[in-house]
Amino acid sequence: MSNCKICGEENCKKHSFLLGKAKTITEFSGSSPPEIFVGKWNYPNVYTGILSPQEYGNTELLSSAELWHEKKLPIPTIIDMRNKLIYARTQSNIKNPNTGFLNTMQEVAMTHKSISAEYKLKKPIREHDEKDSRVPLISHAAPLDQVRLQENPLIKPKIDYLVNDTEVKSGIAIKELDKAGIPTSNIVKILSSGLLGLKANRKLVPTRWSITAVDDTLSKEKLKRIKFFPEISQAEVFSAEYLGNNYNFLLLPDKFSFEVIEISIGKGGVWQDYESFLGRKGYADSVTGAYYANRLALCEYLDKIKRQCSCLVIREVRPEYYAPLGVGILRQISREAFLSPGRKFNSIQEALVDIQTRLKIPVSTWTDKSIILKNHGKQKKLFDFT
């Protein structure tokens, strides 16, 4: 009897296709999407590596949550693509990594196009059993002996400039890259590979931590402006759904506050995190990375329309979402919600009736738990700047 590495159940058949079989090869070459991964196990002596398939050409679709979402790919297709990737990795200290490999990994992290390389491994490729809902599935891993790029990486001027400026703090660099139109997922890779910040402070950052750091930094920067904008005038609802992730954003006229409540159908899981106008003091350790991705999508919208509001995020996780695809997918679904005009309502109750039409379980399952709804209107009295 064996336990599934995805759900933990014995002899699970549902996820049997998610992990590919071990490979006997010790040498291969191909085009990285580009994709790197820095683990957190045994921190500060972590695994770091490059992911690449045994094929050449444009392989960006193998790892890009933005492209998966844009093309509305189904989970089996995404998993088939992930199973092509080989995680060629080495283990080193975050502040004193293997210099030769680090330079190559950083070049991969900086480029925005697939880049070809050849790899020599110390041992054959095996199944990779590390899983985390914040990052997409990594099926295969092998200890790296040598890696050599077969072409020069294409690096955008803004990235090259900020990477080489060792007197700019990482937070400022993240904001500048975002302003330059660098995709969030690319900024995550650059930060993770230790390329941003003051020279003395630069180090490798586990990928899952980088994801949260980038989303958190960008949304906090926007909140500095948002909290001085006028409030929206009436309740609004924005929604989007993809791969069993049903999102509804309920925006209410009030000073800024934010709450995410996630409920999983069938499994009965409930995850909830909240912040008032004053912000959070600690990490959102219930919802984890998705909290910051959801907040970034909201802040991008509010910064655009020059308004503030209180927001309750209702996420219904359906059985169709059965494989770890990472926070990037949830960020893109959240952004999609704000691409269409919101539905406006004269009351919260009317808005909740609208939300219920897209849910499979009663909306009261969320509203009964909501701190936002319980406190609605109170922040106006606490933070009246007039």
| DSSP secondary structure code for residue 136 in this structure | B
- pLDDT reported for residue 9: 60
CB 99 within 8 A of CB 142: no
What does the pLDDT read at residue 139?
Answer: 83
Angstrom CA distances, 78 to 40, 323, 386, stand at 24, 10, 52
- Residue 159: HSE in the Cβ half-sphere, 13 Å Cα cutoff: 22
Identity (one letter) of the amino acid at 183?
A: P
What is the chain's pLDDT, residue by residue, as a tens digit (386 residues)? Answer: 455 555 556 556 555 555 555 567 899 999 999 999 999 999 999 999 999 999 999 999 999 999 999 999 999 999 999 999 999 999 989 988 877 899 999 999 999 999 999 999 999 988 765 556 667 788 889 999 999 999 999 999 999 999 999 999 999 999 999 999 999 999 999 999 999 999 999 999 999 999 999 999 999 999 999 999 999 999 999 999 999 999 999 999 999 999 999 999 987 799 999 999 999 999 999 999 999 999 999 999 999 999 999 999 999 999 999 888 999 999 999 999 999 999 999 999 999 999 999 999 999 999 999 999 999 866 555 445 44
Q: Map out the domains of the chain as residue ranges.
A: 14-221, 227-382
In the prediction, which pLDDT does 343 show? 98
Contact 205, 283 (CB under 8 A): no
Euclidean distance between CA atoms 366 and 243, whole angstroms: 21
The pLDDT value recorded for residue 294 is 98
Which 3 state secondary structure label does DSSP give 374?
A: helix
Do residues 32 and 50 lie in contact, with contact meaning Cβ atoms separated by under 8 Å?
yes
Residues 75-81: contacts with CB under 8 Å, at least 24 apart = 75/243, 75/320, 75/321, 75/322, 75/323, 75/325, 76/17, 78/136, 78/323, 78/325, 79/17, 79/18, 79/137, 79/323
Question: What pLDDT sits at residue 158?
Answer: 97
Assess contact for 297 and 334: CB atoms under 8 A. yes
pLDDT of residue 219: 98
- C-alpha–C-alpha distance, residues 275 and 270, integer Å: 17
* Cβ-contact 299, 217 below 8 angstroms: no
H or E element in which residue 110 lies: helix 99-110
DSSP 164-207: H-TTS-HHHHHHHHHHTT--HHHHHHHHHTT-SS-GGG-----H
- For residue 264, CA distances in Å to 75, 287, 334 come to 18, 12, 17
pLDDT value at position 1?
Answer: 43
Which pLDDT value is given to residue 362? 97
Residue with tokens 């230790």: 194
What CATH number labels 227-382? 3.30.230
